[in-house]
Structure 1
Amino acid sequence: MSKAKATFQLEPLTCPSCIKKIETTLNKTEGVESAKVMFNSSKVKTEFDECQVKASQLEETIKKLGYPVLSSKVL
């Protein structure tokens, strides 16, 4: 298991339901251990298994939900 973390900077979020939508979708994604949306900073923090899913796939998932990703940082 290759554990990795990634943070995605989104455009400013405007509603609590946006948070739930992003967190629920990412947490259901295979390989994702945790996904947490920081509403005030509009960031999504994730922990995942790189053997199962890549940061680029998580970014694509966020974009498909309709939230533009301004930047991403993989740790």
Structure 2
Amino acid sequence: MAKAVMQLETLTCPSCMKKIQGTLEKMDGVNRAKVLFNSSKAKVEFDESIVTKEDLKKIVEKLGYQVLNVKTA
């Protein structure tokens, strides 16, 4: 399993956090996702043979949130 940390734009409400986390957790290949409200980060554990860091970024951006960067943890 690979791990990635995405720095998101500033999250303004807990429902934003839950929306992003829920969507990431439903993705094929994602084992675990945790969105940290105070730091506006998403930590994701995923199977690189099924999903890529770029896929994770695209799905968050499709929800309407800007991803500032993605780092492999």
> Sequence identity of aligned pairs in percent?
58
The answer on 1:18 being equivalent to 2:46 is no
Tell me the equivalent position of 2:51.
53
User: Following TM superposition, by how much is the alpha carbon of 1:74 offset from its aligned partner in structure 2, in angstroms?
Assistant: 1.3
Runs of 4+, deviation exceeding 6 Å:
none
Aligned residues: 73
The answer on 1:63 being equivalent to 2:43 is no
- Aligned Cα root-mean-square deviation (Å): 0.6
Give structure 1 stretches of 5+ with no counterpart. none
Tell me the equivalent position of 1:35.
33
Structure 2 distance, partners of 1:27, 1:70, is 20
Normalising by the residue count of structure 1, what TM-score does the alignment of the two structures yield? 0.94
Give structure 2 stretches of 5+ with no counterpart. none
